[in-house]
Amino acid sequence: MNVPQPAARIGDSAWFTRDRFGLFVHWGIYALPARHEWVKSRERITDAAYQPYFDHFDPDLFDPTTWAADAKAAGMRYAVITTKHHDGFCLWDSKLTDYKATNTPAGLDLIREFVDAFRAAGLRVGFYHSLIDWHHPDFPSDMFHPRRDDPVYRAGNAERDMTRYAAYLHGQVRELLTDYGRVDVMWLDFSYGDRPSYEGLPGKGRNEWRSDELVAMVRQLQPGILLNNRAEVQGDFTTPEQYQPRGWVHVDGKPVMWEACQTLNGSWGYDRDNLDWKSPDLLVRMLVDSVSKGGNLLLNVGPTARGEFDPRARATLARIGEWTRLHSRSIYGATATEHVSPPDGRYTARGSRLYLHLFAWPFKHAHLSGLGGKIAYAQLLHDGSEIRVLDGGRDEGQANTSLRGISASDATLVLPVQRPDVLVPVVEIFLKE
């Protein structure tokens, strides 16, 4: 294949570029206010005013076995969960803080439960861990900090010791990568050392996190782990957030391994009144679009404060699963191709097979540039029904069929007028070897 491939990275990537579709889980005590995981920053909430969410965190319906079953049925093959988000709340039983799930009414190491359930379901497990911490006393206020406009907190910055915070950060990552068996992905989030200061308060990045030492420790504790790119270190993969890239993602002019992370409704944490839900067919198109450009899709669910995926999220996952069940061959182990798909379509390729995903259903014909004489057989993927192919617009067996204006180098698929009733119809094309 002529599509440029990314250079090998340090972590194990074979599973990642095969499995393509993962679940992101953003869960924490921000599920109680239920108005975005950044609520503490956006509303400039003090620790005292945020405390009721800790005191009332009682996810009595938490059942990660159901989460894993939903993810698996959707066609997801790995899952990345927030161990700590920017508010500093820890979902596992960290020895380094009291600000953790075991001290809330939840009374459980939620990460342990999650890891056990997802592994039992055959899914790989990764950890999202926030570099930012709006609870730790040594974390100086900055442009995102909930106390950024509080002169008293700001005056206290002089006493805050970022080295102590970095030691805490590294210590917690060490716990996570030591106590939970094999972890497949480490998703550190995020750096903003390059942003303009806010009222004299600079951002934070590689120096503040001591990223070089942190990354060395991550690699040493979990040699196969895949590391993302948000500690101001390139890592193994790049993470476009809430947009679909135009083509295969490049860094410094070179193609890289990449994973788009996307929400169901624009928020990562459970956001009760946000109704901006993406439709299942849009989400399937986003998955297809990623794979057609050599990337993955990490699709987020923000569970409720009771510990469930809300019905809208569950229904969406189920609809996606109806599609992936029938179309797994065009996604898993598939990637970009040098062939140029017709308008409103996306190709993925796997070995000598091409998969044409039709985002809009044309009238009767799809013209495939450069494939004249190269197709051995074609069929609709969802039901395995034959699709006739006209080389150069001609069908020797059918005197009637000769399409004007089609060059000999093109092939034409003859499609039924009725669009198949699946979220995105796919034609599986067997190229001559």
Q: Which is nearer to ligand GLC, 37 or 410 (CB)?
A: 37
Rounded to a whole number of angstroms, the minimum distance from the CB of residue 239 to ligand GLC is 6
The answer to whether residues 348 and 336 touch, using CB atoms and an 8 Å cutoff, is: yes
Q: How many residues bind ligand GLC (CB under 6 A)?
A: 8
Rounded to a whole number of angstroms, the minimum distance from the CB of residue 92 to ligand GLC is 17
Q: Which is nearer to ligand GLC, 99 or 192 (CB)?
A: 192
Q: Which is nearer to ligand GLC, 27 or 180 (CB)?
A: 27
Q: Which is nearer to ligand GLC, 27 or 54 (CB)?
A: 27
Cα separation, 123 vs 192, whole angstroms: 32
- Contacts of residue 216, defined as CB under 8 A and 6 or more positions apart, other chains included, come to none
Rounded to a whole number of angstroms, the minimum distance from the CB of residue 306 to ligand GLC is 21
Q: Which is nearer to ligand GLC, 26 or 346 (CB)?
A: 26
The answer to whether residues 380 and 328 touch, using CB atoms and an 8 Å cutoff, is: no
Rounded to a whole number of angstroms, the minimum distance from the CB of residue 187 to ligand GLC is 8
Rounded to a whole number of angstroms, the minimum distance from the CB of residue 19 to ligand GLC is 19
Considering only residues 252 to 311 of the shown chain, the ones binding ligand GLC according to CB under 6 A are 261, 268
Cα separation, 403 vs 61, whole angstroms: 61
Considering only residues 357 to 376 of the shown chain, the ones binding ligand GLC according to CB under 6 A are none
For 333, list phi and psi in degrees, rounded to 5.
Answer: 75, 5
Rounded to a whole number of angstroms, the minimum distance from the CB of residue 38 to ligand GLC is 6
Helix 280-292 to helix 311-327 angle, to the nearest 10 degrees? 50
Q: Which is nearer to ligand GLC, 23 or 427 (CB)?
A: 23
Question: Could you tell me the strand order of the sheet in which 426-431 lies?
Answer: 345-350, 353-358, 426-431, 375-380
Q: What is the DSSP string of 182-229?
A: ---EEEEE---TTSPPBTTB----HHHHTHHHHHHHHHHH-TT-EE-S
Q: Which is nearer to ligand GLC, 86 or 350 (CB)?
A: 86
Q: Which is nearer to ligand GLC, 265 or 328 (CB)?
A: 265
Q: Name 79's bridge partners.
A: 23, 125
Q: Which is nearer to ligand GLC, 70 or 189 (CB)?
A: 189
Q: Which is nearer to ligand GLC, 20 or 26 (CB)?
A: 26
Rounded to a whole number of angstroms, the minimum distance from the CB of residue 220 to ligand GLC is 26
Binds ligand GLC by CB under 6 A, chosen from 25, 29, 30, 37: 37
Rounded to a whole number of angstroms, the minimum distance from the CB of residue 93 to ligand GLC is 22
For 193, list phi and psi in degrees, rounded to 5.
Answer: -70, -20
Rounded to a whole number of angstroms, the minimum distance from the CB of residue 274 to ligand GLC is 14
∠419-425-430 over CA atoms, to 5°?
Answer: 120
Residue 253 backbone zone (phi > 0: left; psi -120 to 50: alpha; other: beta): left
> Is residue 319 within a helix (H) or strand (E), and if so which, with residue range?
helix 311-327
Half-sphere exposure of 407 (CA within 13 A, CB side): 5
One-letter amino acid at 217 equals M
Cα separation, 169 vs 292, whole angstroms: 37
**Would you give the binding string for ligand GLC spanning residues 114-153, x where CB under 6 A is met?**
----------------------------------------
Tokens linked to 419: 């669009």
Considering only residues 235 to 254 of the shown chain, the ones binding ligand GLC according to CB under 6 A are 241
Rounded to a whole number of angstroms, the minimum distance from the CB of residue 81 to ligand GLC is 11
- Contacts of residue 204, defined as CB under 8 A and 6 or more positions apart, other chains included, come to 131, 132, 142, 162, 191, 192, 193
**Would you give the binding string for ligand GLC spanning residues 159-198, x where CB under 6 A is met?**
------------------------------xx--------
Q: Which is nearer to ligand GLC, 227 or 261 (CB)?
A: 261
Cα separation, 288 vs 359, whole angstroms: 10
Whether omega for the bond prior to residue 190 falls within 30 degrees of 0, making it cis, is: yes
Neighbours of 362 (CB within 10 A): 15
Rounded to a whole number of angstroms, the minimum distance from the CB of residue 238 to ligand GLC is 12
Interaction site with ligand GLC (CB under 6 A): 26, 37-38, 189-190, 241, 261, 268
